[in-house]
Amino acid sequence: MPVHVKICGVTTIADAEMCVDAGASAIGLNFVPTSPRVIDEARAKEIVTALRSAKVLVVGVVANLDVAAMIGLRDRVGLGCLQLHGDERPEDLTPLLPHAYKAIRVADASDVERSRTFGGDHVLVDAFVAGTLGGTGKQVDFALVAPLAKERKLTLAGGLRPENVAPAIAAVHPFCVDVASGVESSPGKKDESRVRDFIAAAKAAP
């Protein structure tokens, strides 16, 4: 089956609907205060409501919230899934399964090994950049994470663009690819041609 595509850091209804029309399997709404793509709950709920009839998964990106806060956010907004992108522990993820997964910032093999301590079928890998939680445009080491894609439903993030997503898929064979800055005209504003080119390239990858 073709790889799934998640467009992350969506901030408007118009961009969300455009991503769905272009063939995205999922969109990400960012609730991390330090992100240039952060949105509030009211805007997020408007986007979720607008997409209610669409066949798309709406993922909430969070970092370092306690379990009760994550459940509350998920339920208030109507999110289909949560992506834990901070310093959460395996026991923080467990109560949220199966509709949640951990994002691991990978610097070396020890990070890949750490990802195996988290439950669930899914895991996301992103490049490690000191002082940031993601969205840096830096690529992860494909050789480090390719074995993990044989064990889990792996979402590959970090530095993907329309120009390089096909070779990335060929190298890793992920379940899903995730992009934010690689399809933007500015942080939080998606460029329609780049979104469509990215999805087309990902779907056509061998």
- The residues that are catalytic are 8, 126
* Cross-strand bridge partners of residue 131: none
CB 98 within 8 A of CB 121: yes
Record the tokens describing residue 187, joined without a space. 């942080």
Fill in the DSSP letter of residue 29.
E
CB 6 within 8 A of CB 155: yes
Distances (CA, A) of 157 to 50, 71, 138: 26, 24, 9
Unique residue bearing structure tokens 């949105």: 39
Residue 120: Cβ within 10 Å count? 17
Distances (CA, A) of 5 to 11, 34, 156, 171, 205: 17, 24, 10, 16, 12
| Separation CA 157–CA 140 (nearest Å) | 8
CB 112 within 8 A of CB 140: no
